[in-house]
Structure 1
Amino acid sequence: METTLPTSLPPQHLTLELQKQTNPQQEIEVFDYSKRAQWLRAAVLGANDGLLSTASLMMGVGAVRKDFKTMILTGIAGLVAGALSMAIGEFVSVYSQYDIELAQMKRESKDQFEVEKNKSLPKPLQAAVASALAFGVGAVVPLLGAAFIKEYVVRVGVVVVVVSLALLGFGGLGAVLGKAPVVKSSLRVLLGGWVAMGITFGFTKLIGSTGL
Structure 2
Amino acid sequence: MSHVEIHRSHRVGWLRAAVLGANDGIVSTASLIIGVAAANTSHESIILAGVAGLVAGAMSMAAGEYISVSSQSDTEQADLALEQKSLDTDLEFETQELADIYQNRGVEQALARQVAEQLMAHDALDAHARDEIGISANGGAQPVQVALSSAVTFTVGAALPLLVAWMVPTGYLITLVALCSLVFLAMLGAIAAKAGGASLVIGAIRVVFWGGLAMALTAGVGKMFGVVA
TM-score normalised by length of structure 2: 0.73
> Aligned partner of 1:125: which letter?
V
Equivalence for 2:49: 74
Q: Does 1:195 align with 2:195?
A: no
Show the 5 A alignment for 1:33-52: 33-52=8-27
Aligned residue type for 2:213: V
SS in 1 for 2:167: coil
Measure how far apart 1:66 and its partner are.
3.7
Amino acid at match of 2:217: I
Higher relative contact order structure (alpha carbons within 8 Å, sequence separation ≥ 6): 2
Task: Please say if 1:58 is aligned against 2:40.
Answer: no
1:178 Cα deviation after fit: 1.4
The aligned counterpart of 1:173 is: 191
Of 176, 188, 201, the residue aligned with 1:158 is: 176
Alpha-carbon distance in structure 2 between the residues aligned to 1:139 and 1:112: 46
Tell me the alpha carbon deviations over residues 56-90 of structure 1, each in whole angstroms, 9 at most, x when there is no partner.
Answer: 00000001134210111111001000000000000
Instruction: Decide whether the 8 Å contact of 1:65 with 1:71 is kept in 2.
Output: no
Aligned to 2:154: 135
Question: Aligned-pair distance for 1:29?
Answer: 6.2
Residue 102 of structure 1 aligns with which residue? 77
CA distance in 1, matches of 2:60, 2:4: 39
Q: Distance in 1 between matches of 2:221 and 2:17?
A: 30
Matched, 1:126 2:145: yes
Q: 1:60–1:204: 8 Å Cα contact kept in structure 2?
A: yes
- Residue identity matched to 2:177: V
| Residue 139 (structure 1) shift | 0.1
- The one-letter code sitting in structure 2 at the alignment partner of 1:81 is A
Normalized per residue, the structure richer in helix is: 2
- 1:195 Cα offset (Å): 1.1
TM-score when scaled to structure 1? 0.79
Counterpart Cα distance in 1 of 2:167 and 2:207: 27
Q: How far apart, CA to CA, are the structure 1 residues paired with 2:138 and 2:156?
A: 29
SS in 2 for 1:195: helix
